[in-house]
Each structure stands twice: as structure tokens, then as C-alpha cells.
Amino acid sequence: MAASICNPQLRLLNALRANAKPIMTFLGLPSFRTAQIVAQTGLDGIIIDCEHGHISDDSMHSATAAVASMGVSPLVRLRMTHSDLIKRALDTGAHGIVVPQINTAEEARAVVTYSKFPPQGLRGQGSAFPAITHGIDIQTYMETANKTLITCLQIESKLGLENVDAICAVPGVDMIFIGPNDLALSLLGHVPAKGDEPELVDAIDKIVAAARKYGKWVGRLSNNGALGREHLKVFDTVALSYDIRAMQNWYTSELQVARS
């Protein structure tokens, strides 16, 4: 996080380092053009959702290239912590990864190990694509990737909450991201949560405190701009909703107006 390496192509990383409160969103639709259009809106980062979105391996490559070509940072959210998924995501040229359902420090260490080139980790080299989306040559990418790729872990379960201090203490973890829906489901047994349930509020406060204690950035999902503005008073970054929800919400709202 404190590395002095500066690459102007890494929009999200640079904004985080500058405490500029960058804003992201999730992309769940497998479309090169959708990725371009969403990236054109002024966002700092886009999380390509390979966990819950309709994103194949091919679509992941296309979206990463499309987002980076617009000067926005592409991140890839994986399905799980497997080393081959981490390798594939980073080999697209993603500026970082978001890994869901991290429950233990051991899982966090495994993600870091598979995200870093030797000697810090076990990541293999072979793809020419990352250098393109980082706007540098392959040699420079190899020399700088360990210090410039964002490794973001999601805390969204009771077990993850119990182990959040140990998870945040793992070297090489850059950001903690709160999945409020799954966290609420794990803690309260239902979604959607109102957001003001004491148990959920206390859990989020505990995660933020652990991230701050160990010098990690911390982000969360925000369902709309008003909530995003409030969340950015506490969090370093937010992911503002989802491309799919944005389309649904616009049509729902405008249809109500048209039919009124």
C-alpha cells in the first residue's frame, strides 16, 4: 500500500493512496460494450463479477480490456479462493482481485500467496495481457505487480467476523470489503436488512476497526448515491450498486412515471 511506484494507469490504486474516496460499481453482464459504457460514466473502478454475475472466462477478458481502455481500473471478483481462478483473473490484466467469503487467516494467506510472484508468492508468469492493461511493458509489470495489484478480501460471515483481526493482520492484504447482504444473512438470518440492526451495525464497526488497526483500506457496497455519500465519510471506497440493478431501477421508475 505504501509503495512509491506510480503508474497513472492504475486509477483506483492512485485514488486510494491519495485518500480521494474513489467510487466503483459491479459489472454482471457479459458485454464488451456494457463495460465501456459503464466505464465512461466517471467511475474509478469496476468490479467484474465472476461470482454472481453472468461472466464467463471470455467475458472476463473482454470486460477487463474494455474497462482499462477507458482509463478505469478493472478488478475481478472471483468465485472462490482457488489458485487457478486467481491466476486467470490476474492474467487478464485486472488491477486487482476481490475474493468473497474469506473466513480465516489461512484463507487470506493462500490468496496472497497465489496473487504474488516469487519470492513473495507462487504466481506463475506467462500472460502478455496484464502489461497492456497496466500500460507498461512485461518486464516492468513483473517488477512492479507485487506492489501495485490490489488484493481485496470480503468479510461476509459470522466466522469471517470472528477472525477479522487475524485476517486483517495478514501481510499482502490491501483492502477489506464488506458484503452487507451476506453478512446480514449470516448474522440475522434474513435479507434484506434495514441496515440499522444493532448486531449488523456492531459487526460493520468491528470490521472497519480491524482494517484501520492493520492499515488496510476498507470498502463496502452502497445501494445508491445518497448512501454512498454517507458511507464515504467512514469508508475509503464504495461500490455503487450494480449494472443490472441500475437498469432495473431506471425502467421501474420511468415506467411508473409513464403510466401515472
SS (H, E, C) 56-76: CHHHHHHHHHHHHHCCCEEEE
Structure letter (DSSP) for residue 123: -
Domains, the chain, in order of start with CATH, read 11-259 (3.20.20.60)
| Angle formed at CA 223 by CA 54 and CA 53, multiple of 5 degrees | 5
Which range, of 16-25, 49-58, 139-148, 183-192, averages the lowest pLDDT? 183-192
101: left (phi over 0), alpha (psi -120 to 50) or beta: left
pLDDT tens for 189-221 read 988 888 889 999 999 999 999 999 999 999 999
Summarised one tens digit per residue, pLDDT across range 88-121 is 999 999 999 999 999 999 999 999 999 999 999 9
Burial class for 139, CB neighbours closer than 10 Å (0-12, 13-18, 19+): exposed
| pLDDT interval class at 177 (50, 70, 90) | very high
Q: What's the predicted TM-score (pTM) here?
A: 0.95
Q: Is 190 a catalytic residue?
A: no
Active-site choice (52, 54, 82, 134): 52
